[in-house]
Amino acid sequence: MNDINLTFKIDSEDDDVIIQPIFDKYNFEEYDTLNEYQKWHRRGIGLIIIRYKDKVHIQGEKHEKSLIFLRDLLDLGVLSPDHKNAEKLAKLYQFPHNAIFCMKCNSPSMFIRGKPNALDLTFEMECGHLNDLTPPLFMSTRRILPDINILINGHLSRCIDMGFFRGFEIVLPDFILYAIGLNGPNKEAGASNEINRLYKLEKEKQITIFKCVDRIPLPSKEEHDQVEDDKILEIANLTNSILFTGDNNLKDKAGMDKRPTIYIHPEDAKKIKIIHETRSP
């Protein structure tokens, strides 16, 4: 299976002249086209690149040199991805959390500079392209906040073992770590085992962990059940995280608060352990 499989729109045949020096720089070789729809065919550094009438298709191996080549190619500004391929690019490069995408070259920016330009004002992204700052801005998201029951039942680490959530930053806030201790020794042990598995996955570079000092006042044991959902949702908003829950009430509150949420129904969640054991004997 190819690690890189991308399609870009290209507007003009004149753009081929702009692209050619990049092929020369990386020692790409020219191959015969395979059918009448292909305009040209290049191969090099583990990549196959084919030009059609109004698109360029790139497939091949993901490694340091191929990623640098892609960045150089996109910096030319003649190739543009649709939303599906922009998402593929973001996953290839593991853009930082909250990075803003340039819609011309899809480079990430954590900084946009506003400056006067004659009688106008321009906003320049780190890639050098201008952003008109009209909504929406497209940002990358890498943070997942699991709720207490997700941790107690070990659902997150099992999902990671099965290939999901890899490369994400898992948020473990003080409030949730405190609240785990209010659920009795058996559930506390389950959550503790899950957290240990998550730290092990971090050492294996499957995920990263954000130990969040949330500074939220801790409720008494008697108050906890009444405020738990609201506090977790507050932390999700503070950390700009995607909430991962199996709690229907919390899911509904998150929806009303417009907080992105991953929800697994409790009846479906029971099957995760069986699926995990079957796929990872």
Query: Domain-by-domain residue ranges, the chain?
Result: 4-94, 96-140, 143-279
Distance CA 31, CA 278 (A): 45
Per-residue pLDDT of the chain (281 residues; tens, 9 = 90+): 458 999 999 988 788 899 999 999 999 999 999 999 999 999 999 999 999 999 999 999 999 899 999 989 988 888 888 888 888 887 887 777 888 888 777 778 898 999 898 888 999 998 888 999 998 888 888 899 999 999 999 999 999 999 899 989 999 999 888 888 777 788 889 899 999 999 999 999 999 999 988 888 877 777 777 888 999 999 999 999 999 999 999 999 999 999 999 999 988 988 998 888 887 65
Rounded to 5 degrees, what angle do the CA atoms 96, 102, 106 make?
Answer: 75
pLDDT at residue 1, as a whole number: 47
Distance CA 102, CA 83 (A): 12
Which of 243, 269, 220, 254 is CA-nearest to residue 168? 243
Report the chain's C-alpha Rg in angstroms: 23
Q: Is the peptide bond before 136 cis (omega within 30 degrees of 0)?
A: yes
Report whether CATH 3.30.450.40 matches the domain 4-94.
no
**3-class secondary structure per residue, 120-146:** EEEEEECCCCECCCCCCCCECCCEEEE
Distance CA 54, CA 11 (A): 6
Q: Token match 């004149």: residue?
A: 14
Which of 165, 243, 250, 173 is CA-nearest to residue 206? 165
Q: Which class would CATH give 143-279?
A: alpha beta
pTM: 0.74
